[in-house]
Amino acid sequence: MSLRINQNISAMSAHRFLASNDEALSKSIDKLSSGLRINSASDDAAGLVISENLRTQISGIQQASRNTQDGINMIKTTEASLNEIETQLRQMRDLTVHAANVNGNAASLSADQAQVAQAMNSINRIADQTEFAGVKLLRTQNISNKTFQVGSNSGQTATFELPASGYDGVSLTADMHVSSLGLASARNASSIGSKAYSAISIGQTENVTVIYTNATGTSKAVTASLNATTGDTLSHAITNINASLNDAGNIEAVATDQYGNVNANPADNTFLTIRQKAVADQSGNASVVVLSDKASADSKTGFTATPTRSTGQATGSIIDLTSGNTTQILQQIDDAMKKVNGLRVHLGAFQKNNLESNLTSLSVAKENLSASESAIRDTDMASEMVNFTKTQILMQSAQAMLTQANQAPQQILQMMK
């Protein structure tokens, strides 16, 4: 046995094992406290990369699941509105059946027609107001051709489309305005005046300002001045206004009836209407506003002081119970109900076969990916506790041996006495 003072090799060896055991104990504590086997790349570089990729997939699937659920909720919102539209159509059909049996009773027919008009207004209102998170669902821009991101990767989408073949003999559309359902004719964006020119005949002057907004939202304003020379008759007023509207673009003044319709019999066209030259796209942007300096409660001009706005939605009903043509009207309503039913059928099939089944598939994929990620990254707590206990014992043993090794040089002092 050799005894040295300058180099205590035994103590150095004990210290090396003590430091190694301390590092192992520290990592074991990290794993037990975090629940993760891999806390840094040094624990398992390859495992970390695989685990991070799996986490990315899991996160994407979770978002795809939320997207899919949003799509389901969007369809449920649409379905609820379609159910109410069908209720209105059913009421219109009942009124038509009743009208077919009133034997020409004008009062009953008028009452039935009034209810039909209100039902049509309700359908248009539902079509305009149905939306999900700011997305209009039943207007010209609607739920048809909407694409849902239902997967975690690019291209994993589902698109709701209506078949070109139609349904039960009718073409399908997701635009639920009565004009699209075949119950009303589309109307140009317009403003209708009740004999606006008649105030001119008593020597007055009327300044009419026309504010026209096209479908893209671009507005123009033009003022026409009517006097006894230029506007004492309907035709004179139309000519003068059209001359002033040359710079306004796609807009014109025409003679119509009180509903804005141009009738074949000129005698029926006694109202001055300023309108688009083409039917509006029903986007809600196109409008015609007419202001008159003669507008008041007792004025003979029909243009009101408050700006009136028409968005081109259908207002000219072709459901006229007073015509007595109830057989044709019933067919039109039945066809409209087929359009609504067809849309509901395809929405329901898309929800069940695409979105709900996808939601189930995503749940299974998330479960399996999470199991794989857990197997790679999570700590086996029981196994790690065994390792922790072993490392603790080795730490205590190394500490004891370091103490003994540090005491060995003391024996040299005994030799010097």
- HSE-up (13 A, CA, CB side) for residue 224: 27
| Residue 259 within a domain | yes
Query: Is 204 found in the same domain as 160?
Result: no
- pLDDT digits over 11-40, tens only? 888 889 888 888 888 888 888 888 888 888
The pTM score is 0.62
Evaluate whether residue 46 is within a structural domain: no
Q: Identify whether residues 176 and 262 lie together within a single domain.
A: no
Integer CA distances (angstroms), 362 to 66, 90, 147, 300, 358, in order: 10, 40, 18, 67, 6
> Are 358 and 261 part of one and the same domain?
no
In a domain, 288, yes or no: yes
Answer yes or no: are the C-beta atoms of 285 and 219 closer than 8 Å.
no
Say yes or no: 227 and 262 in one domain.
yes
Residue 173 sits in the same domain as residue 202: no
**For residue 87, what are the domain limits?**
54-184+320-366
228 with 240: CB under 8 angstroms? no
Question: 177-229, pLDDT tens digit by residue?
Answer: 888 888 875 555 566 655 444 445 555 677 777 777 765 667 777 777 777 66
Question: Which parts of 298-387 are beta strand (E)?
Answer: 316-317
Q: Is 81 in the same domain as 178?
A: yes
Domain count, the chain: 2
Look at residue 81 and tell me whether its pLDDT is greater than 90.
yes
Kindly state whether residue 248 falls inside one of the protein's structural domains. Answer: yes
- Rounded to 10 deg, the angle between the 45-99 and 106-129 helix axes is 170
Same-domain pairing of 63 and 173: yes
Parallel, antiparallel, or unpaired for β 147-149 and 287-292? unpaired
Q: Do the domain assignments include residue 416?
A: no
Residues 277 and 249 sit within 8 Å (Cβ to Cβ): no
Tell me if 121 is assigned to some domain. yes
Vertex 125, ends 119 and 128: CA angle to 5°? 145
Amino acid at 234: L
pLDDT, average across residues 70-92? 96
For residues 70 and 172, membership in a common domain is answered with: yes
Q: What is the model's pLDDT at position 248?
A: 54
Contacts with 33 (C-beta within 8 Å, 6 or more apart), sequence order: none
Q: Is residue 48 within 8 Å of residue 41, measured between CB atoms?
A: yes
Same domain membership, residue 243 and residue 327: no
Helix (H, G, I), strand (E, B) or coil at 167: strand
Same domain, 170 and 191: no
Rounded Cα gap, residues 271 and 192, in angstroms: 7
CA distance 53 to 46: 11
Residues, the chain:
417
Question: Which tens digits make up the pLDDT trace of 224-248?
Answer: 777 766 656 778 778 877 887 775 5
pLDDT in tens, 331-368: 999 999 999 999 999 999 999 999 999 999 999 999 99
> Mean pLDDT, to the nearest integer, of 145-173?
92
- Name the more confident of 132 and 221: 132
Q: Is the model's pLDDT at 5 over the cut of 90? A: no
Q: CA 313, CA 35: separation in Å to the nearest integer?
A: 63
